[in-house]
Structure 1
């Protein structure tokens, strides 16, 4: 969920609910809290780079769709 952009536990819970069919059962609150607390600046920078790469890829795929974005 962090890679999808969650910055706090409320956002993690919202994303987990939305993506449950894809990712399965959510991690416990304590596991999510420990994971968020363990991230350092280097990890956050890497996550940001991956998110940017994925966004570029998705936008390139949307560009190929007739009419562009579906929504």
Structure 2
């Protein structure tokens, strides 16, 4: 179960992400607003998992099958 504070923050961000006037699902994936979301996510992954600066964090679509296919790459 998510903490109440997290649920509340997400419910406020869905209709108006970072005061942009657009909801999370309406923001273009090419916009500066969305890039800030991606940069924040990558920064949090780096911090949480102690990923060194000389490694890249990849955010990829796909499920487990895609991950298995990528092992050959």
- The two structures have a TM-score, normalised by structure 1, of 0.32
Structure with more contact order per residue of length (Cα contacts < 8 Å, sep ≥ 6):
1
- The two structures have a TM-score, normalised by structure 2, of 0.31
More helix by share: 1
